Every structure is written in C-alpha cells, then in structure tokens.
Amino acid sequence: MSQFNKKLEQASKTNNSLLCIGLDADLAKIPQHLLNDSDPLYAFNQQIIEATKDLVCAYKPNMAFYEMHGIYGLESLIKTIELISSYNIPVILDGKRGDIGNTSAAYAKSAFEVFKADAITVNPYMGEDSVMPFLEYKDRGVFVLCLTSNSGAQDFELPIYKKVALKVKEWNKHNNAGLVVGATKPEQLKEIRALVPDLPLLIPGIGAQGGEIKATVQAGVDNKGGKAIINSSRSIIYASGKEDFARAAQKAAKELRDQINSHRFGK
C-alpha cells in the first residue's frame, strides 16, 4: 500500500469518514465580511478546515479557484495545504493536469514539491506517457479522470471510460493510482468498482451536482466499505453565506458524513 493510501486510510479511520470537502473558495460567494481580511481566501478555508477537520478523510482544493486570483490565490493555496497537512489529513490537489511526458514531469513537480499536495487529479486524454510521471512519485496518490459527473461526460468519456479504468489498473505498479468517477452515474460507478476492486475512487458530484447518496455509496465502496472518497464542495462550504458559515459547514459535513456511513455496509 502506498504512503498516500496509508495516510488516507488513517484519516478515514480516525474520523470514521469517507467524506472529502472540496475547497473551491470563490471571493464572490464567501461571506462578505471576510473580504476585510488581509487574505480572504485563506481566512475562509482556515475556518472551514478548523470546523470540519474531525469529519473528513481528505480535502480537495481545486486549483482553478486559486489560479483565478493569480499570484495571490496561489499563495493562499500553499498556506491552505500547509494548514491541512499539519492535521495529517491528505490533500488531493484537483488540477486535472496532463501533457506530454517531460511536461507532465514538470506538473508533477509543481503539485508534489511546490504545492506539496499528497495527491493530484490527472486527465488521461494524452495517454500513458502523460500519466506516468505523476505515478512515479510512489509516495503520492494519482486520481485519473475516468467518468466525470458533468453533462459533457457523454461526449467523449462514455465510449472509453472502461478502457481508461483498465489502463490505469495496468499502469498502477506502485499501488498509488485511483480513479475519478462521478456520483451522478451510479450504474457505471458499480461497473468501474467491479473492474478495479482495489483502487481508491474519488467520487465528486454529491450535493450541488445532484448525485444520490445511497446509490453512490453502495456502488462506490470496496468490499470492506472503504476506498471511496466522496466529495462535496458547494453544499458544505456555502451552507451559509453569513458569519455562521463555519458552523453551518460543520453541521452539513457531519450530516453528510453520517448519511454516507449509514449506507456504507449495505444497510
């Protein structure tokens, strides 16, 4: 088992949770009193993390929401990852990166050495040499997009997602690969789980994107009720847009964690 998988399993066990919170902070959506802070993105993330760190198995900041604010946003991202790491909770950097081999190596260096993430999401479109440089970081996790939760998934992913799942299984020499499979497609999720019984699955699309919880959990977990990382972003971090946002996020996270757990062992 890779070091990333161990860290994930430990956090999941300690917090009795398969819940991952997506840290997609948007200055237009966070409580407006935070805009007076010298670093509003970090202030928002910090309060969300402090309120939910006993309820999650991982956090997943999406790079787009930080890049959107240029240098300032990327500085906030680095501080956010440092804070999460201080609590021994794994950080899955959602970057959906991928390029020809030597360029993917530069992205891997960025994610793992500069931003110091525990894991990254990778886009498989460009094939093997675009994915391998990430997998070569044996102590980190690599979640390859397989079948995503958005409507566009039908355009190109649907015809080839099983092939992607099988290829990733083949490339997984260091036992550090996983797949991204949307919660909006429980039937295919079940199929994919059968193809890769041992891989961790990162499952976004619960909540704002409409994925149904029971079907997702039952289709996504492995035969021990684990190895599913069920992500929710907006329905937790924006549970309240007022000063009580952190407490509201805590409440939403606890409810979702407990709801997921109620379906984990086939109940």
**Which residue from 196, 217, 197 is spatially nearest to 206, judged by alpha carbons?**
217
State the Cα angle at 208 between 207 and 212, rounded to 5°.
35
Determine the angle formed by the axes of helices 245-263 and 40-52, rounding to 10 degrees.
Answer: 40
Upper half-sphere CA count for residue 183 (Cβ side, 13 Å) = 25
* Min separation Cβ 131 and a second copy, Å: 8
State the Cα angle at 143 between 140 and 145, rounded to 5°.
160
Active site residue 173: no
Helix (H, G, I), strand (E, B) or coil at 187: helix
Q: 135 φ, ψ to 5°?
A: -65, -20
* Min separation Cβ 133 and a second copy, Å: 10
Find all residues with CB under 8 Å of 161, minimum gap 6, and list them: 146, 147, 188, 192
The contact set with a second copy (CB under 8 A) reads 24, 26, 62, 64-65, 67-71, 74-75, 78, 94, 96-101, 103-104, 106-107, 109-110, 114-115, 123-131, 145, 148-157, 159-160, 163-164, 167, 209
Structure tokens that stand for 210 in this block = 């409409």
* Strand 141-147, strand 228-232: pairing: unpaired
* Min separation Cβ 228 and a second copy, Å: 19
* Min separation Cβ 15 and a second copy, Å: 26
| Catalytic one of 7, 53, 60, 96 | 96
* CB closer to a second copy, 75 vs 136: 75
CA distances from 139 to 19, 78, 118, 149, 192 (A): 22, 19, 8, 28, 24
Determine the angle formed by the axes of helices 153-171 and 128-135, rounding to 10 degrees.
Answer: 50
* Min separation Cβ 38 and a second copy, Å: 17
- Catalytic residue annotation: 96
